[in-house]
Structure 1
Amino acid sequence: MLFPTPTLSPDDRRVLDDIDREREALRLQVRSTPTKWTEGLRRFLTADAVAASNSIEGFRVSTVDAEDLMDGERDVDVTEVDREETLAYQRMMTYIQSLHDAPDFAYSKGLLNGLHWMLQGHHHTPARPAGQWRKGAVYVTDTRDPSIAVYTAPSVEDVPGLMAALVDWLNDDDGTHPVVRAAMAHLHLVSIRPWADGNGRMSRSLQTLVTARASVLAPEFSSIEAWLGRPGNTWEYYRQLADRGATYLPDQDVANWVRFNLVASHQQTQSVRLRLERSGRVLRHLESFVDSLGLSPRSVSALHDVALSGRVRRSRYERAENLQVQQAQRDLRALVAQHVLEPVGQTRARYYVAGDAFPEAALEEARTPFSLVDPYQV
């Protein structure tokens, strides 16, 4: 038995309507923005989702470091464990993103186990297999006292039947709003916990896939994983899951879980829209600045990364502008010579940060925080 999808309240329906409007507005905003700049935002949002979802499990990699790792950089100051977890999650997320418009798509046990192998294959052992249902009991333990089980997953004998029911449910569209279905898919999977490890990240990724398959937005713009990874939201996420009980109790009202996810979807959409608007304002400052110095207009790409992410590497600038190595080096040397950028590190590990002459207006715009509203309090 799976959790029944709750009946929505009038407030829930109002918020869902708001989410639809916000996402449609964001879709139009993305379409009207040059691809060159939306691609940069896509890369950031993917890295942010990977870093955030991993952080919930204790793997600490900043978004900018995750971006560098995803770009193939080797000289990134992270542990080898964090590097492996970041790249494994990125591989799985890249495949999920590619499935958003795949024809003849269907959910299956094989698909879910394949995704799990991408995430956990580097941890595979006969006792704790990746890409296969678990062979024993799984517990979620108290973070301070691992001798206390705060949640005990269903017995191993029940896992195949529960996962068969989940796959059937995923393939049977009952007309429920996609945001609600995605939230329920997350809850079903994280409660069944069919694998020995990686259940939390798999559940969040399944939510991303379900949302993407039915959304007007690409997966990068609709995933709530980055929102869940913010410390205050992570705490509430744990509390919501704890409220479901210490064992698998699917015959209960989970309206609060759905409401929590509606807030997440609404606020994440707000966040993406505001980031895109801020990016445009920063670009306008940088274009005027570059023009005033007579620099190559393409150097705006490098300065934009520095303003919004804090640094840029030569390889990223090179790819963004489709340059030869020598061209990228010349552009960056020119920016260093005018003290717009300042190099940090040597040879392959080198990156560039804002120098004394970097336009302050662009930095101020990039560093000004934005506010998110709670859609239930509007």
Structure 2
Amino acid sequence: MLFPTPALTVEDRRVLREIDDLRRSLRLQVRSVPAKWTEGLRKFLTADAVAASNSIEGFRVSTVDVEDLLEGERDVDVSEEDREETLAYQQMMTYIQTLHDAADFRYSKGLLNALHWMLQGHRHTSRKPAGQWRRGPVYVTDARDPTIAAYTAPDAAEVPGLMEELVEWLNADDGAHPLVRAAMAHLHLVCIHPWADGNGRMSRSLQTLMIAREGELAPEFSSIEAWLGRPGNTWEYYRELQRRGATYLPDQDVSDWIRFNLTAYHQQGQTVRNRLDRSSQVWILLGKFAEDRGLEERVVSALHDVAMSGRVRRTRYERAEDLSLQRAQRDLRELVAADILAPVGRTRARFYVAGAAFPESALDAARTPLPLVDPYAG
């Protein structure tokens, strides 16, 4: 038995309409600006989702470090464990993103187990098998006392049947809004807890896949994992899951869970819109700065990374502008000589940050905090 999808309230339907309008306007906005402006944003959003979802599970890697790892950088100052978890999650997320428009797509137990192997294959053991249903009990411990089981998942013998039911539900159309179905899929999977490890990230990833399959926005814009990874929101996330009870109790009203997810969709949409607006503003300011200083237009992408993410590496600039190694090195040396950039570190590990002559207007635009509206307030 799975949780029944609750009926939406008048307020829920209003918020859902606002989310739909926001997502449509974002789609048009993304299409109206140069591809170069949005390419960096897509990479940032993917990295932010990976960093946030891993942080919920205790793997702490900053978004800018995740960006570097996803670009193939080897000299990133993170632990080997965090590196492995980041790259494994990125591998799975990349595959999920490619499935957004796959023809003849169907959910299956095989697909879910394959995604789990991508996430957990590097940790596969006989006790905690990757890509296979768990063979024993599993517990979610209380964050305040690991000796207390905050949640006990269904018996392992029930998992195959529950997952069969979930897959049938995933492939059916019950008439609910796709975003509501995605939220319910997250809840179903995290409460069944079918694997020995990795259930939280798999549940969040399934939600991302379902939103991406809905097709309103590119997959990179579809995840709410970055929103869930913010400390205050993570606490609320755990609280909402704990409200479901200490054992699997699917015969209950989960309206609060839907409201929580609608808030997440709405505020993540606001965040992406704000980031896109800010990114475009910074690009324009840096373009004017480069023109006034007689700089090549291509260096704006390097300066934009510094303003928006705090740093840029030579390899990232080289790939973004399709430059030779020598040309990229010369450009960065010239920016350092002009005091626009300042180098940090040596040789392969070197990156560049804002120098004394970096335009303050661009930094101010990139760093100005923007408010988020609670869609249910007022």
TM-score range, shorter chain: over 0.9
Q: CA deviation at 1:143?
A: 1.9
Q: Secondary structure at the match of 1:339?
A: coil
Partner of 2:168: 168
In the aligned structure 1, how far is the partner of 2:220 from the partner of 2:232? 22
Q: Is 1:209 aligned with 2:212? A: no
Partner of 1:275: 275
In the aligned structure 2, how far is the partner of 1:232 from the partner of 1:174? 33
Alignment of 1:134-153 (within 5 A): 134-153=134-153
Q: Secondary structure at the match of 1:94?
A: helix
Q: Secondary structure at the match of 1:14?
A: helix
CA contact (8 A) 2:51 2:62 kept: yes
Letter in 2 for 1:86: T
Alignment of 1:212-231 (within 5 A): 212-231=212-231
Letter in 2 for 1:173: D
- Alignment: residue pair count: 378
- What per-residue deviation string (whole Å, max 9, x for no partner) do you get for residues 273-292 of structure 1? 11000011111110111011
Q: Is 1:60 aligned with 2:60? A: yes
Gaps of 5+ in 1: none
Partner of 2:247: 247
Q: Secondary structure at the match of 2:147?
A: coil
**More off after superposition, 283-292 vs 234-243:** 283-292
Q: CA deviation at 1:142?
A: 1.2
In the aligned structure 2, how far is the partner of 1:287 from the partner of 1:152? 56
In the aligned structure 1, how far is the partner of 2:20 from the partner of 2:269? 10
Partner of 1:128: 128
Partner of 1:238: 238
CA contact (8 A) 1:24 1:216 kept: yes
Partner of 1:157: 157
CA contact (8 A) 2:37 2:283 kept: no
Compute the TM-score of the two structures, normalised by the length of structure 1.
Answer: 0.99
In the aligned structure 2, how far is the partner of 1:285 from the partner of 1:194? 50
Q: CA deviation at 1:345?
A: 0.6
Partner of 1:295: 295
In the aligned structure 2, how far is the partner of 1:303 from the partner of 1:263? 34
Q: CA deviation at 1:215?
A: 3.2
Gaps of 5+ in 2: none
In the aligned structure 1, how far is the partner of 2:33 from the partner of 2:107? 33
Partner of 1:180: 180
In the aligned structure 1, how far is the partner of 2:44 from the partner of 2:246? 37
- What per-residue deviation string (whole Å, max 9, x for no partner) do you get for residues 153-203 of structure 1? 000010000000000000001121011000000000000000000000000
In the aligned structure 2, how far is the partner of 1:67 from the partner of 1:61? 10
CA contact (8 A) 1:307 1:362 kept: yes
Which stretches of structure 1, 4 residues or more, deviate above 3 A after TM superposition? none
- The alignment-based identity, stated in percent, is 75
In the aligned structure 2, how far is the partner of 1:67 from the partner of 1:18? 31
Q: Secondary structure at the match of 1:253?
A: coil
CA contact (8 A) 1:178 1:215 kept: no
In the aligned structure 2, how far is the partner of 1:181 from the partner of 1:282? 37
- What per-residue deviation string (whole Å, max 9, x for no partner) do you get for residues 121-147 of structure 1? 001011210000001000001123221
In the aligned structure 2, how far is the partner of 1:304 from the partner of 1:44? 12
In the aligned structure 2, how far is the partner of 1:219 from the partner of 1:13? 24
In the aligned structure 1, how far is the partner of 2:218 from the partner of 2:167? 23
Q: Is 1:344 aligned with 2:324? A: no
Alignment of 1:61-140 (within 5 A): 61-140=61-140
Partner of 1:377: 377
Letter in 1 for 2:194: P
Q: Secondary structure at the match of 2:352?
A: strand
Partner of 1:48: 48
Q: Is 1:193 aligned with 2:206? A: no
In the aligned structure 2, how far is the partner of 1:214 from the partner of 1:104? 14
Partner of 1:6: 6
Q: Secondary structure at the match of 1:342?
A: strand
Q: CA deviation at 1:335?
A: 0.4
Q: CA deviation at 1:31?
A: 0.3
Partner of 1:319: 319
